[in-house]
Amino acid sequence: MESVKECAACLSNSKDVPVLLCSRCAANYHLLCMNISSKDYKKMSQEDKSNWICVQCRCKERKGDNTNTPVRSNPPPSPKPDYVTKRGKTRTTGTNCSCLSASSIRDIIREELQQLFNHQIHPHLLEVQNAVSSLEASMAHFNEELEKNQG
C-alpha cells in the first residue's frame, strides 16, 4: 500500500488510500477504481497483492491454448441464390462524370427555396398578417371608445 501515488485509472493523487500495484506495468490503481472492496482487499494475501495484474495488462494476455480448436474447411461453392440481385450496369469512374455546373446548382437551390417559401413560410406569414390586422382593428376600436369616454 503506497501513501501518495497517482492512480492510472482516475489520474488523481490520494493520500492514505489503499492502492494496488500492477506487477507487469508497475501502475498504481485505487481499489475503488478497480471495483475491489476494502473487504476483498483485506482478504487478499501478500502474494496475491504482489502478483496482481491490472485490467489493461490482463487484456494483453493470450486467452488460452487454441491448438484443439477445429479448423473449418472451406464450404463447397453453392449455386447462386435466387434472392441475390445482380447489378445490370457496371459503375464507371473517372472520365464520364455528369457533374452539375454552378449555374444549374444555383437554379436548383433557387427553385427549392421558392418552393419552401410558397409552401411553408408564406402561409405562416399570412397568419401573422391576419393577426396584426385584427390587432390593429381592436386598437382602433379601443381608441374610439377611449375618445368617447374622455369627450
- CA–centroid distance for 96 within its chain: 37
- Is the pLDDT score of 117 beyond 70? yes
* CB-based contact 19:28 (threshold 8 Å): yes
Residue type, 106: R
* Average pLDDT of the chain to the nearest whole number: 82
The share of the chain scoring above pLDDT 90, in percent, equals 25
Domain assignment present for 92:
no
Task: Report pLDDT for 2.
Answer: 42
For residues 62-76, give the mean pLDDT.
73
Domain count, the chain: 2
Domain assignment present for 145:
yes
- How far is Cα 27 from Cα 9, in angstroms, rounded to an integer? 9
pLDDT tens digits, residue range 10-35? 888 877 788 888 999 988 888 888 88
Domain assignment present for 38:
yes
CATH code (residue 18): 3.30.40.10
Domain assignment present for 115:
yes
Q: Which domain holds residue 34?
A: 4-60
* CB-based contact 18:52 (threshold 8 Å): no
User: For the whole model, what pTM was predicted?
Assistant: 0.41
Residues 56 and 104 in one domain: no
Q: In 3-state terms, what secondary structure has residue 145?
A: helix
Domain assignment present for 79:
no
Domain assignment present for 129:
yes
Task: Report pLDDT for 1.
Answer: 44
Task: Report pLDDT for 3.
Answer: 53
Domain assignment present for 74:
no
Domain assignment present for 83:
no
Task: Report pLDDT for 81.
Answer: 66
* CB-based contact 15:4 (threshold 8 Å): yes
Cell of 22: 500492477
* CB-based contact 31:52 (threshold 8 Å): no
Q: What residues form DSSP beta bridges with 15?
A: 4
